[in-house]
């Protein structure tokens, strides 16, 4: 009875009437808490794990840009050779090869990747190709491709429905659409300039 009375008194005095936990109870609680943390960590790592398809796509895209960088360096070295008597054979094949490579890459991954992710890579690749002066490939396989995707997904032919389907609150979509439209126009301008240069050279 004395012990029961002491327990009742202790419950009223300590932590709002709760008895202190025994070592076994505390150990069990800590183990349960630790297990919950482990499960939460595993879940977080699982969600943060890179998609193998995206990883493979990124590697292929890096190989493509690496190839472009290499042929650009080779072209610059060739131009710097003052004693070159005539152009290298097959020099005109590089734009076609770039076009075919990128076409195959998009076809292989376009339906396997998230739409937003794929669209962002289209624009980024187009910007890169424009920077290295591959205007035809950038226009046909990046900017114009992006625009075709938007038109295909649009519910109507309204300009806003095509390029800004979620309104201006979707900043990523707005930015990418503007980049695609602007990049497509710039590529057209650059290609016209190159055509004019070739025509002037032939006339002279």
Over the stretch 129-146, which tens digit does the pLDDT of each residue have? 999 999 999 999 999 999
- Max Cα–Cα distance, the chain, nearest Å: 118
Give the residue among 146, 116, 148, 125 at the shortest CA–CA distance from 64: 125
Give the residue among 92, 37, 100, 102 at the shortest CA–CA distance from 64: 102
Give the chain's end-to-end CA distance (angstroms, integer). 118
Residue 87 has pLDDT above 90, yes or no: no
Task: Over range 168-196, report the average pLDDT.
Answer: 91
Lookup: tokens for 137: 């490939």
The pLDDT of residue 6 is 53
Q: What is the rounded CA–CA span in Å between residue 106 and residue 39?
A: 37
Q: What is the rounded CA–CA span in Å between residue 106 and residue 119?
A: 11
Question: Among 71-75, 83-87, 124-128, which is the least confidently predicted range?
Answer: 83-87
How high does pLDDT run on average in the chain? 77
Task: Over range 27-50, report the average pLDDT.
Answer: 49
Taking the CA atoms of 168, 171, 177 and 179 in sequence, report the sign of the dihedral they define.
Answer: positive
Percent of the chain with pLDDT over 90: 43
Within 13 A of 139's CA, how many CA atoms are on the CB side?
15
**pLDDT band (50, 70, 90) for residue 73:** confident
The pLDDT of residue 51 is 83
Radius of gyration of the chain (CA): 31
Torsion angle, alpha carbons of 36, 37, 41, 44, to 10: 70
Task: Over range 159-176, report the average pLDDT.
Answer: 88
Give the residue among 122, 151, 139, 24 at the shortest CA–CA distance from 64: 122
**pLDDT band (50, 70, 90) for residue 84:** low
């Amino acid at each position: 009875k004395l012990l029961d009375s002491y327990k009742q008194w202790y419950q009223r005095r300590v932590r709002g009437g709760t008895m202190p936990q025994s070592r076994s109870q505390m150990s069990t609680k800590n183990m349960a808490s630790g297990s919950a943390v482990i499960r939460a960590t595993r879940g977080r790592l699982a969600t943060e794990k890179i998609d193998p398809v995206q990883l493979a796509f990124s590697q292929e895209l890096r190989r493509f840009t690496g190839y472009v960088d290499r042929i650009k360096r080779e072209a610059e070295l060739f131009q710097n050779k003052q004693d070159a008597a005539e152009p290298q054979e097959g020099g005109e094949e590089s734009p076609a090869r770039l076009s075919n490579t990128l076409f195959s890459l998009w076809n292989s991954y376009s339906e396997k990747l998230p739409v937003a992710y794929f669209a962002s890579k289209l624009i980024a690749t187009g910007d890169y190709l424009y920077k290295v002066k591959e205007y035809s490939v950038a226009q046909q396989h990046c900017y114009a491709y992006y625009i075709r995707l938007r038109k295909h997904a649009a519910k109507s032919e309204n300009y806003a429905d095509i390029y800004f389907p979620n309104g201006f609150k979707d900043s990523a979509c707005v930015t990418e659409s503007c980049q695609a439209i602007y990049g497509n126009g710039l590529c057209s301008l650059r290609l016209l300039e190159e055509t004019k240069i070739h025509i002037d050279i032939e006339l002279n």
